[in-house]
A = this chain, B = another copy of it.
Amino acid sequence: MDRVRSKRTVASRRSRTPRRGKVWGGIDLGGTKIEAVVIDGHGKPIGHARHPTPTQGEPEDVVREMYGALEDAVQTAGLRLTRLGGVGVGAPGAVDANAGTLARVSNVGRGWTAPFPLAGSLSELTRGEVVLGNDVQVAVAAEYRLGAGRPYRSVLGVWWGTGVGGGLVLDGVPWRGRGAAGEIGHMVVKPGGARCGCGRRGCMEAYAGRGNLERDARKAEEKGEKTQLFELMRKKQRTRLTSSIWKKALEEEDALATKLIERAVHMLGVGIASAINLLDVEAVILGGGLGSRLGAKYAGLIHEAMSPHVFMTERQPPVLVAELGELSGAIGAALLVEPDVT
């Protein structure tokens, strides 16, 4: 992704003419839904479709559903699949971009551990190039290029959803370490603290991830604490506490939801401050299901929670809400195959 580096100068922006009619596909493979977009030469989504992620079946079944979502997105754009210049995929789990494989995925199909050749398998259906990337990293790259990160060279993306993912762009270049950088959700905010889904204790995600928040809400309700959270869930005919359920409960000043989200905000602030002290980035971008849904008010609260711990007191990076919303992942995925949009 070194090509990203040169895309920020005004000169290069002005001199570029988007290739007429050239479009690209992007798929964001999430734990609950598959978002597919078609973007034009400005990175603008001109087609969009959403399919539920299969909760059963083989990896091949997941690939077929991804293909179906892409077909629908292409159709809403009034185009044919053959028009796509390529397809990018942002995926959770362990992505090997060079090999085009995806390993260690849960909540997708029946889940799988061994590397599955996702890029090759999807490419057989699309009959074109397919490039794989990490879901959070591509979303952060999209925000850096086209969204809230535009004014900056170095940003930390914090994707607050079922888990808490992170993505870094340092001096214009996505930083991936040996492939696994950005695990901000597993920064330790309280040694020996709450159990995390990863099996460790005290991770930021143990306090802030929606999965762990739901676990704690259930425990509290079983112990007799009053909450509307599960009532709202039943009303909305959901089986999990979605981001919009949390939002609704907060708006209705549900005591348990407020308490749990306040603790999450506190721990997000602590972990983000630690990351800032280490990296001195210019801005923090808040995305993910909860981040996008709770929006500017909670970005402000996270900033307040982070602020007392930031070492460079006089130069606190802003905490900005992702601007591309729920499509940032799919748009960022499309940028994997065409990073030259202007």
**B-facing residues in A134-175 (Cβ within 8 Å):** 154, 166, 168, 170, 175
**B-facing residues in A209-254 (Cβ within 8 Å):** none
Inter-chain CA distance A273–B187, complex, in Å, is: 7
Find chain B residues with CB under 8 A from A188 CB.
189, 270-271, 273-274, 309
Inter-chain CA distance A198–B176, complex, in Å, is: 31
A170 and B178 in contact, given A188-B273, A277-B183 (Cβ under 8 angstroms): no
Binding site for B on A (CB under 8 A): 154, 166, 168, 170, 175-184, 186-191, 198, 200, 202, 266-267, 270-271, 273-275, 277-282, 308-309, 311-312, 315
Q: 10 A-B contacts, Cβ less than 8 Å apart? A: A176-B280, A178-B282, A178-B315, A180-B312, A183-B312, A184-B278, A186-B274, A187-B277, A188-B309, A191-B266
Find chain B residues with CB under 8 A from A309 CB.
186, 188, 200, 202
In the complex, the answer to whether A177 meets B280 with C-beta atoms within 8 Å is yes
Inter-chain CA distance A200–B191, complex, in Å, is: 18
CB < 8 Å neighbour of A189 from B191, B198, B315: B191
Q: How many copies does the complex hold?
A: 2
CB distance from A274 to the nearest CB of B (A): 4
Inter-chain CA distance A183–B53, complex, in Å, is: 41
Find chain B residues with CB under 8 A from A170 CB.
170, 175
Chain B residue with minimal CB distance to A156?
Answer: B278
Shortest 5 CB-CB contacts between residues of A and residues of B: A177-B280, A187-B274, A181-B280, A183-B277, A186-B311
CB distance from A46 to the nearest CB of B (A): 35
CB distance from A273 to the nearest CB of B (A): 6
Find chain B residues with CB under 8 A from A181 CB.
278-280
Chain B residue with minimal CB distance to A308?
Answer: B200
Inter-chain CA distance A181–B282, complex, in Å, is: 11
